[in-house]
Chains A and B, each alone.
Chain A
Amino acid sequence: DGGITQSPKYLFRKEGQNVTLSCEQNLNHDAMYWYRQDPGQGLRLIYYSQIVNDFQKGDIAEGYSVSREKKESFPLTVTSAQKNPTAFYLCASSNFNEQFFGPGTRLTVL
């Protein structure tokens, strides 16, 4: 069953903690993306990767970090430097036309 998975679905974090969001795909896509969505807003690009061991900053990369050690995996770390991390995070992969999205992770900072 091909697709893209994200875990966990809900995540709670205390201020000052780093947390890592998981994103895995078995679609054999080279490109992967992380977006942030705030209520009533569109998607803003955090980081993207077109190939293993390479990634680029998107529009709102400050306070976030990523790695791309395997083609299938693109984890996102929300660091304590991110001032307002409460949001809905979406991961996507692409065959360089349409993007396929995971179900999202809702992060809440307590």
Chain B
Amino acid sequence: SQQGEEDPQALSIQEGENATMNCSYKTSINNLQWYRQNSGRGLVHLILIRSNEREKHSGRLRVTLDTSKKSSSLLITASRAADTASYFCATDSGGSNYKLTFGKGTLLTVNP
């Protein structure tokens, strides 16, 4: 079952613009993570935000979390062509099994 749903499904922007992707989820979470996948490759972890945090930054990435709305957003500032990839949110609902539930992803295309 998929907990997270990313929005939009696809996003195309010009280099230098900002890209915002959203993730909604259904049940309470322990933390939410964002991953990046280049075409045909494995996923790479970008950032983790815990349920008691509202905002987190890492380089050009900014993640927000609103647990009352069960939603998160990922902002990539000053995008580059190399940022072209699929971005997935993944939720950890806690418990002892440490499973993540992934959304279907947002395909970001950054045009040079």
Contacts and interface: CB of A to CB of B under 8 A. Distances in A.
Interface of A: 31, 33, 35, 40-45, 48, 50, 56, 58-59, 88, 90, 92, 94, 96-104, 106
B33 A104 contact: no
Residue from B2, B45, B98 with most neighbouring chain A CB atoms (10 Å): B98
Given A98-B45, A104-B41, 10 more contacts: A31-B98, A41-B104, A90-B42, A92-B43, A97-B31, A98-B48, A99-B43, A101-B43, A102-B42, A104-B40
B44 A101 contact: yes
Contacts of B90: 99
B45 A100 contact: yes
By secondary structure, the A interface counts as strand
B98 A96 contact: yes
Contact of B2 (A42, A56, A98): A42
B51 to A, nearest CB: 13
B100 A99 contact: yes
